[in-house]
């Protein structure tokens, strides 16, 4: 069982108990009052900025309201801190990114919330028009549809993100962020369109959501701590991943991760930990994968400490310095689309330790699947197939 700190419990109480801002007692700032128009040729960026500026400077609870219709926006940053820690951004319509990525330029983000506290984003659709903008990948930018940065006490509820240029939703350098009833959609062939990415952030909940994308449904990078993922459907996509880690020598670790009641379908990976084969002080510890169902997943359970997406070209050849320990797989069942359903490929200098498998049942074409295990130490209990021979 994952240990819960007092800070974690306090954050749960905040996110569960804290009520949404009541429109009857809140100041309402509609983007249409400041020139926003749901018209294809109207740039509503300035109207959204002005509505946010008014709400942010109001010490009372407030609502930034986006009515029905399609509002076209360039890159925009909603900056804090604000005078109130009770602001709702209520979106009934659709926000549409420019079809020409050069309009956004070097911003690296489309919609960004920065240094905010106590913001709730409710409803709406974010359309990144990624079918024309995936050339962003060549520029090496992150380009998420929605970026929450250096913020705390944020709730994202009933939001849909479609066809992002790269990451759909990114959470960085933040604390107490809850995403619930979120829908993320992009074609399985779209490049680097991670559904939800968490990095250098703590106390993050991802609940009751559906993710279909061209890369990891959920990815957790360096410094992701105290992350709880529950009741998420993933597919197509690359599964749920921790990493990639270990590219830098000085890198914060990943710890206290819970993934439970998750369904993965037709994904290229299931539950994956990936690290580069480079020296690093990073680590992964205290991870629980519990009650996971897989249908036709290519690599259902995978620890890859020789990660290199370059198809063997220019790959690091040293032992990974990332220490992987305390990884638990409980009540995992389903089918693999490849013969090897479990693969532990751990570091030569830092073998994986403390891996436990309890009641794991994965099959391939109706028969027992295979397993490969290199430099991994752990235990199995209950009914486990395929059976791991720990090295």
For residues 312 and 272, the answer to whether their CB atoms sit within 8 Å is no
| 3-state SS, residue 317 | coil
For residues 88 and 120, the answer to whether their CB atoms sit within 8 Å is yes
Task: Judge whether 238 counts as a catalytic residue.
Answer: yes
HSE at residue 348, side-chain half, CA atoms within 13 A, is 7
Please provide the size of the chain in residues. Answer: 391
Residues 6+ apart with CB under 8 A from 337: 266, 296, 297, 298, 364
Q: Which residue has the tokens 């994202």?
A: 156
Residues 72, 147, 197, 238: which is the catalytic one? Answer: 238
Tokens of 56: 């942010």
φ/ψ of residue 374, rounded to 5:
-130, 125
For residues 126 and 194, the answer to whether their CB atoms sit within 8 Å is no
Residues 6+ apart with CB under 8 A from 6: none
Q: Which residue has the tokens 């926000």?
A: 95
Q: CB 99: neighbour CB atoms within 10 A? A: 11
Which residues are the active-site residues?
Answer: 238
């Amino acid at each position: 069982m994952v240990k819960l700190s007092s800070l974690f419990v306090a954050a749960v109480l905040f996110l569960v108990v804290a009520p949404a801002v009541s429109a009857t007692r809140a100041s309402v700032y509609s983007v249409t009052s400041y020139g926003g128009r749901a018209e294809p040729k109207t740039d509503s960026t300035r109207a959204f900025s002005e509505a946010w500026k008014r709400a942010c400077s109001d010490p009372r609870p407030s609502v930034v309201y986006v009515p029905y219709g399609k509002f076209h926006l360039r890159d925009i940053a909603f900056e804090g801190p604000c005078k109130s820690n009770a602001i709702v951004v209520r979106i009934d319509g659709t926000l549409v990114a420019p079809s020409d990525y050069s309009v956004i330029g070097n911003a690296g983000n489309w919609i960004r919330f920065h240094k905010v506290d106590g913001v709730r984003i409710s409803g709406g659709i974010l359309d990144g028009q990624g079918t024309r903008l995936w050339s962003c990948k060549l520029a090496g930018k992150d380009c998420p549809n929605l970026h929450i940065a250096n913020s705390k006490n944020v709730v994202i509820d009933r939001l849909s993100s479609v066809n992002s240029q790269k990451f759909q939703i990114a959470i960085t350098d933040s604390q107490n962020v809850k995403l619930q009833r979120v829908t993320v959609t992009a074609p399985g062939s779209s490049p680097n369109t991670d559904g939800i990415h968490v990095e250098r952030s703590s106390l993050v909940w991802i609940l009751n959501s559906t993710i279909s994308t061209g890369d990891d449904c959920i990815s957790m990078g360096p410094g992701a701590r105290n992350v709880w993922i529950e009741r998420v459907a993933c597919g197509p996509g690359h599964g749920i991943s921790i990493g990639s880690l270990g590219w830098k020598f000085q890198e914060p670790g990943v710890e206290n991760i819970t993934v439970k009641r998750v369904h993965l379908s037709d994904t290229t990976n299931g539950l994956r930990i990936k690290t580069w084969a480079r020296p690093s002080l990073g680590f992964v510890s205290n991870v629980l994968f519990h009650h996971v169902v897989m249908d036709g997943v290519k690599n259902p359970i995978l620890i890859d400490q020789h990660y290199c997406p370059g198809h063997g070209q220019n790959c690091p050849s040293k032992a990974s310095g990332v220490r992987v320990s305390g990884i638990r797989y409980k009540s995992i069942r389903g089918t693999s689309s490849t013969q090897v359903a479990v693969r532990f490929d751990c570091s030569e200098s830092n073998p994986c330790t403390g891996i436990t498998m309890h009641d794991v049942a994965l099959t391939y074409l109706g028969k027992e699947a295979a397993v490969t295990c290199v430099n991994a130490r752990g235990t199995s209990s209950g009914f486990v197939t395929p059976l791991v021979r720990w090295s």
